């Protein structure tokens, strides 16, 4: 299938977000679509697939001008969009999710469960994931949910698959599986639009790349004919230099310690310390228990035993409110569920997390609120139309920055970051790293969980590796490299 989009304009409430944008997709190619957060990538693809209507421009599919009215119509034409913010129904099972509205029925209208389960199993096998079709979606990790979305696209035999940040929640090994699947789809003539902020992936996987900046088409190049610096230049109009800004903070006394933290069946005897000014990286495969350990520290897991110490004093974090009071900040991996009130403005989201700071005698100080929000938008370069911009209408990466802004002004002693740069563009990533460094310089103990190994290696002072609910090792800066982390994460021993 060949797709040509030309002269696409789109405004929201008078704000132009696409200005004569365009895109050319060839049969059987993997085409990267890149650009900063808010550049218009998702919007352009939503216009192609009928989620949004365009204000101007043409869309031509295999020589015919088209205008799909909705996602179903695009899907029937063979174009499937796997969205950045996953659309899963948590109460349904895997199988129900995959066959929603497409149930296989016999001639009496009764669902053929056996056949559906068989098909689900076949597709999941092809993806190499071990998920039971009867499992509830809510029991799956974000990464597994992502795999189910991909499985759904395979199921309808799509000719064009648009993947918006598909690997943001996947671990290295799952990413490899995904790449195999994508490559084999290309061999069958399927075209893939691949949206990602992970430069390494683009260069490993894609044939061509198109860059958008501020809603405008910049250029399309063959991957062979470009390099990372060139792409960054196209994206932001300048170079950014080192990806991981240098931190030379003196590491101080122990600020945070957990001892024998256990949640039966989930993780056991987790013990570690974090010092003032230190960044402790936490690595492991998906499902290793990293997020659960962090949730437990934040008072968000039932049946947890063990001890938590802050500044040498034992604290009880029975619920998030208590944890916050004790000085723990938490930036979660799932901004849709826990991190943000999507229907609310940037202002509301930031100010609610900082009420103490912007109120006097229990009364909200309007001026202080506005100043704080303004500071957040400026310091984090949140691309928005102003403090009242609803979070649901922000681009994915900018939503993540709002989550960040919520927490960094609460002056936490310990800040837990769970996948802090998921879906964030390369320039903004560097801004976030700089903010992490500034917090460390102020003596905050930072815990950073990330599935992006280069990021952990680039940012952490030490790396704790978790596997199957156990701490397999804590690597010093000298020991920390990709190989050692992977050995521990997959169950090996370092001195073998």
Ligand X SMILES: Nc1ncnc2c1ncn2[C@@H]1O[C@H](COP(=O)(O)OP(=O)(O)OP(=O)(O)O)[C@@H](O)[C@H]1O
Residues that bind ligand X (CB under 6 A): 12, 17, 35, 37-43, 84, 383, 393-398, 425
Please report whether residue 40 would count as binding Mg ion according to CB under 5 A: no
Helix (H) or strand (E) holding 315: strand 313-315
Residue 306 near residue 261 (C-beta atoms within 8 A)? yes
Residue nearest to Mg ion as judged by C-beta position: 42
Nearer to ligand X, 277 or 423 (CB): 423
Q: Which residues contact 241 (CB under 8 A, 6 or more apart)?
A: none
Q: Which does 462 bind (CB under 5 to 8 A by kind): Mg ion, ligand X, none?
A: none
Q: Which does 22 bind (CB under 5 to 8 A by kind): Mg ion, ligand X, none?
A: none
Distance of closest approach, residue 83 Cβ to Mg ion, in angstroms? 9
Q: Which does 421 bind (CB under 5 to 8 A by kind): ligand X, Mg ion, none?
A: none
Please report whether residue 42 would count as binding Mg ion according to CB under 5 A: yes
Q: Which of 163, 199, 165 is nearest to 49 (CA)?
A: 163
Nearer to Mg ion, 84 or 354 (CB): 84
Nearer to ligand X, 12 or 90 (CB): 12
Q: Which does 12 bind (CB under 5 to 8 A by kind): ligand X, Mg ion, none?
A: ligand X
Which residues are 465's β-sheet partners? 283, 473
- Find the binder of Mg ion among 327, 396, 420, 469 (CB under 5 A): 396
Please report whether residue 43 would count as binding Mg ion according to CB under 5 A: no
Strands 64-65 and 56-61 turn out to be antiparallel
SS3 439: helix
Residue 398 near residue 386 (C-beta atoms within 8 A)? no
Cα distance between residue 140 and residue 119, in whole Å = 19
Nearer to ligand X, 10 or 406 (CB): 10
Place of tokens 């001008």: 65
Q: Which residues contact 419 (CB under 8 A, 6 or more apart)?
A: 168, 169, 333, 449, 450, 451
Q: Which does 17 bind (CB under 5 to 8 A by kind): Mg ion, ligand X, none?
A: ligand X
Residue 297 near residue 349 (C-beta atoms within 8 A)? no
Residue 90 near residue 138 (C-beta atoms within 8 A)? yes
Distance of closest approach, residue 184 Cβ to ligand X, in angstroms? 27
Please report whether residue 398 would count as binding Mg ion according to CB under 5 A: no
Nearer to ligand X, 132 or 201 (CB): 201
Question: How many residues lie near Mg ion (CB under 5 A)?
Answer: 3
Please report whether residue 49 would count as binding Mg ion according to CB under 5 A: no
Nearer to ligand X, 189 or 386 (CB): 386
Nearer to Mg ion, 181 or 193 (CB): 193
DSSP state of 256: E
Q: Which residues contact 478 (CB under 8 A, 6 or more apart)?
A: none
Residues 357, 362, 366, 367: is their CA dihedral positive or negative? negative
Please report whether residue 38 would count as binding Mg ion according to CB under 5 A: no
Within 83-112, the residues that bind Mg ion by CB under 5 A are 84
Q: Which does 393 bind (CB under 5 to 8 A by kind): ligand X, Mg ion, none?
A: ligand X
Residue 334 near residue 276 (C-beta atoms within 8 A)? no
Residue 77 near residue 83 (C-beta atoms within 8 A)? no
Nearer to ligand X, 277 or 397 (CB): 397
Cα-based torsion angle of the residue sequence 365, 368, 373, 374 in order, rounded to the nearest 10 degrees: 140
Pick the stretch among 54-62, 305-313, 326-334, 394-402 that binds Mg ion (CB under 5 A). Answer: 394-402
Q: Which does 284 bind (CB under 5 to 8 A by kind): Mg ion, ligand X, none?
A: none
Pick the stretch among 253-261, 273-281, 319-327, 396-404 that binds Mg ion (CB under 5 A). Answer: 396-404
């Amino acid at each position: 299938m060949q797709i040509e989009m030309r002269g696409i304009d789109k405004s929201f409430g008078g704000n132009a977000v696409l200005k004569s944008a365009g895109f050319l997709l060839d049969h059987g190619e993997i085409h990267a679509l890149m650009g900063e957060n808010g550049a218009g990538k998702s919007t352009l693809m939503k216009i192609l697939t009928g989620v949004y209507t365009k204000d101007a421009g043409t869309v031509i599919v295999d020589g015919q001008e088209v205008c799909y009215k909705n996602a179903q119509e695009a899907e029937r034409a063979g174009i499937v969009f796997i969205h950045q913010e996953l659309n899963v129904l948590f109460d349904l099972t895997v199988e129900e999710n995959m066959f929603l509205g497409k149930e296989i029925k016999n001639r009496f209208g009764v669902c053929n469960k056996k056949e559906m389960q068989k098909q689900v199993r076949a597709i999941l096998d092809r993806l190499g994931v071990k998920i039971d079709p009867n499992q509830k979606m809510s029991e799956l990790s974000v990464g597994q949910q992502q795999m189910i979305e991909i499985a759904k696209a395979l199921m309808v035999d799509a000719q064009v698959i648009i993947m918006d940040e598909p690997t943001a929640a996947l671990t290295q090994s799952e990413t490899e599986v995904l790449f195999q699947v994508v490559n084999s789809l290309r061999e069958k003539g399927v075209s893939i639009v691949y949206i990602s902020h992970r430069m390494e992936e683009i260069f490993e996987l894609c044939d061509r790349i198109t860059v958008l900046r501020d809603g405008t088409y910049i250029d399309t190049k063959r991957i062979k004919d470009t390099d990372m610096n060139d792409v960054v230049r196209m994206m932001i109009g300048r170079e950014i230099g080192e990806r991981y800004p240098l931190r030379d903070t003196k590491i101080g006394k122990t600020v945070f310690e957990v001892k024998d933290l256990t949640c039966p069946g989930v993780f056991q005897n987790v013990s570690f310390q974090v010092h003032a000014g230190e960044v402790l990286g936490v690595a492991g495969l998906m499902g290793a228990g990293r997020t659960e350990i962090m949730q437990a520290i934040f008072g968000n897991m039932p049946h947890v035993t063990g001890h938590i110490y802050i500044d040498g004093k034992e604290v009880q974090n029975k619920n998030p409110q208590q944890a916050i009071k004790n000085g723990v900040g938490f930036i979660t991996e799932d901004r849709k569920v826990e991190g943000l009130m999507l229907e609310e403005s940037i202002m509301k989201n930031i100010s609610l997390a900082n009420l103490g700071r912007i109120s006097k005698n229990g009364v909200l100080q309007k001026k202080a609120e506005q100043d704080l929000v303004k500071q957040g938008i400026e310091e984090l370069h949140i691309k928005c139309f102003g403090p009242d911009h609803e979070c649901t209408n922000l681009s994915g990466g900018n939503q993540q920055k709002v989550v960040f802004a919520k927490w960094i002004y609460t002056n936490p002693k310990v800040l837990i970051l769970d996948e802090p740069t998921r879906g964030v563009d390369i320039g903004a990533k560097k801004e976030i790293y700089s903010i992490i460094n500034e917090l460390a310089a102020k003596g905050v103990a930072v815990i950073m969980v990330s599935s992006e190994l280069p990021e952990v290696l680039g940012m952490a002072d030490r790396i704790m590796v978790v596997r199957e609910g156990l701490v397999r090792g804590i690597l010093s800066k000298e020991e920390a490299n990709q190989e050692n982390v992977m050995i521990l994460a997959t169950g090996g021993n370092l001195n073998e």
